[in-house]
Chains A and B, each alone.
Chain A
Amino acid sequence: MFWKTRSKEDPAVPEVGDAALPDTLALPEAAASDHAEERAGAGPTSARPGVETAAEREVTLRSLMELSNDLNARMDLYEIADVALFNVMGHFGCSRAAIWYLAADGYADAVLLRGHGLPDRAARAVGSLWSRWFGTSGILEPILIEDLKEVGSVPGLDLAEEAGIALFAPLTARRKLLGLVALGNRVSGRRFSHRDLQALSASLNFAGAALENAAFTNRMVESNRQLRLANEQLRDLDHLKSSFLRNLNHELRTPLTVMSAYVDSLLMVENADSAQREHLGAVRSEVSKLEAMLMRLLDFGQLMSNDLEVELDRGDVVNLLRTYCEERRPGLAAGLRELSFSFESGVPPAMFERARVIQIVNCLVDNAFKFCPPGSRIQIRVERDKDTVRVDVRDNGPGISPERLPHIWESFRQGDGSETREHGGMGIGLSLARELATRMKGRLEVETTVGEGTLFSLHLPTG
């Protein structure tokens, strides 16, 4: 199931201009009533709406402790979003919630990390609007929609109510706005009290700190991975160079041999005059020089190892890619692309070379990262497909247009020139990836739908 990525055709989000914001936000005073109700006391479960019992306070404390224990720096942004959102949903008894993150890389809109019970399109529009509102208002506390109605006209209230949202709460770290959380009404019908909002703030402080730490850690992990890849690519380029040299040697040697033979033959003709002999001699001399240069190139090329040979071995593709995904996930999450991995049970072993399969999948994932915007999803799945093990790399990005599709396999071409400049790289990845698949006696295929996404399938022969 794909998540739809944002497209330019999405409905326009109401603009929040300075003039539309209230100068002050006079929220209803919190709860003298909260304290009065507490002093009144109650049993383990209270029949009086709004009264917080000792048991409920224990639930609050336990929720906070659980969240603090569950969040850790090894999680990526999506895992933190899952943990934080389910925690507050369970704590307050809400069946609808969403969490958005403000990317630091200049992508202007808040990215929807997770949504439950909210229509996807509404969730994206709401997140954009309200994160901007919190950003410009400077308010760093939770706000109830019903309280905002009393303030006056605030753009986007209708949108929030329509989406079933009861409150917005900013996600912060060190007083900096990182994102936004929305909660729906409590299924019990109970209102959010001032104490509830305080507890929510405390929870989201934990989550904000975890998100900030995770973003930093994920970027470090990704930097290390890219350094390692750069080294591997340098080694592969070296191999390619030697192959090029050997091919060049072979292609030039044959015509040079032919030229030598004919010139030698002409020089043996007895009645050639001295001018002709002189010219032929000059040609023979230059041909000899070229032959000598080729010999040196051949010697140089032979020092390098062979480039695209593969060594097939029987192995478990599922375990290989599971480990691969664990390594890639943090870096992709830092770039707000979510990577998921799944597999069919009972996938048989396949014949492949581990490093080459990783190279191919890396190429496909890198392409998905380049061409899909933040908030996109990349899914890797391993299944049996007749006499092959199939690795699917699927994204919900813009897809490939029919005009570009026939050219994606060409070396040094990445669609039109504008994309090459925008996305970087030289576009040789798919060409090499397909060649490697063929050399492993497999194949690499693509299916794509504009506006919905792209699926690359790598087939490897079963062992």
Chain B
Amino acid sequence: MADDIQITEIESGAHARVLRISGRLDAKNAQALVGRCHELRDRGTTNVIVNLKEISFVASSGIGSLLALTETFKDANGALRLVELSSAVSSVVEILNLGQFLEIAATEDEALAAIGV
């Protein structure tokens, strides 16, 4: 459907994946993202990098899902890193002062370097 989020998965080493997502991170699409990340975690991927460059809109539930996933991957002794935040995302992150908690990097390469890939 036209409103569905598009998720492109790129393998980056044994335990890391990059997810490039585009569209609207609203309630329904947040579920899709969470489901995909949980599948990765269950298959042993402990480091996930989410590229938010093509996110045109983020709802509260989208932010909530990113916070929950950050906690999830911490509990799995890994990390969820957000890269290339679009302006829609970065403005909400700034307003809610989430920058200290979320793992944010400027680029995919920077995030991959942080996990030694």
Contact = CB atoms under 8 A, between A and B. Distances in A.
Interface string A177-201: 0000000000111100000000000
B62 A96 contact: no
Interface in B16-65: 26-28, 30-31, 34, 38-39, 42, 59-65
Interface string A61-97: 0110011001000000001001101111111011111
B96 A59 contact: yes
A88 B70 CA distance: 16
A291 interface: no
A179 to B, nearest CB: 18
The B interface is mostly helix, strand or loop, or mixed, namely helix
Contacts of B95: 44-45, 53, 55-56, 59
Interface residues of A, number: 34
Nearest to A63: B60
A190 B39 CA distance: 33
A1 interface: yes
B94 interface: yes
A116 interface: yes
Range of interface residues on B (Cβ < 8 Å): 20 to 34
Contact of B60 (A55, A62, A187, A188): A62
Contact of B65 (A45, A63, A86, A91): A86
Given A45-B95, A55-B95, A86 B30 contact: yes
B68 interface: yes
A96 B71 contact: yes
A83 B98 contact: no
Contact of A95 (B42, B68, B92, B94): B68
Given A59-B60, A70-B26, A90-B61, A188 B67 contact: no
A50 interface: no
Interface in B88-111: 92, 94-98, 100-102
A117 interface: yes
A211 to B, nearest CB: 15
A85 B30 CA distance: 12
A188 B100 contact: yes
A116 B68 contact: yes
Contacts of B98: 93, 187-188
B87 interface: no
Contacts of B94: 45
B30 to A, nearest CB: 6
A67 to B, nearest CB: 8
A37 to B, nearest CB: 16
Give the 9 A-B CB pairs with smallest separation, nearest first.
A90-B64, A90-B63, A89-B64, A86-B64, A187-B101, A90-B60, A188-B97, A117-B71, A86-B61
23 contacts: A44-B95, A45-B94, A45-B95, A45-B97, A56-B95, A59-B60, A66-B26, A66-B60, A82-B27, A83-B27, A83-B61, A86-B60, A87-B60, A87-B61, A87-B64, A89-B68, A90-B62, A91-B64, A95-B70, A95-B71, A95-B101, A187-B101, A188-B98
Interface of A: 1, 44-45, 53, 55-56, 59, 62-63, 66-67, 70, 79, 82-83, 85-91, 93-97, 116-117, 187-190, 342
